[in-house]
Structure 1
Amino acid sequence: MASVDECREALHNLAARMDANAAQVRDHVNLERTLACRISDLDCAFHGRISDGRLVDLADGDDPDAKIALTTTSDDLVSLVAGQLDVPKALAARRISVDANPFDLLKLRKLL
């Protein structure tokens, strides 16, 4: 099982990757949403915002009002961010759960 610090680091790595691609996707994807990432096996959560193709304002703690909520285990989060776990396959196998508007999911996919 990955630690809380490893999950936090994975999310910061994801934010850095999204930041590097933001200029390319900013004009094509208009997505301004709050995001919660809930880690089921560690009973912890993180939250932030997706803005201008970037993941910003990452912080510890849940956002119960987040427009996009991802729930997964610590190991699966780390694997997803590292590119070792395919998102569609993980969704189909119920290793991750995403609660969001279907249109937001389509836009989010373009960002990643």
Structure 2
Amino acid sequence: MTYVVTENCIKCKYMDCVEVCPVDCFYVGANMLVIHPDECIDCGVCEPECPAEAIVPDSDPKAAEWVEINRNYSTSWPNITRKGEAPEDAKEWDGKPDKAKLFDPAPG
């Protein structure tokens, strides 16, 4: 099992999870983060740190469509090891439905 960043990270991108990850398995895109599944050690410390509750185990039904996105983009986006600034309007986007269509494949 591994952890997966899901749709609610899009446009929120809080990055609190990055600070606690002991293996630096987060990768940054233009408007969200992803977790490299082969690097994640399944410790789970990132999950409660996400204010947007966008991180779930890959066994969670919400993770299904995001597993491959995390796998694919973690191989091309830059690794992030320090918390950055969340977008100024992150709170406005937290919890909004249908954010998947706003996914930006560009690296962060």
TM-score (norm 1): 0.30
Bigger relative contact order, structure 1 or 2 (CA pairs below 8 A, ≥6 apart): 2
Which structure's CA Rg is the greater one?
1
From the two aligned structures, give the one with the greater helix fraction: 1
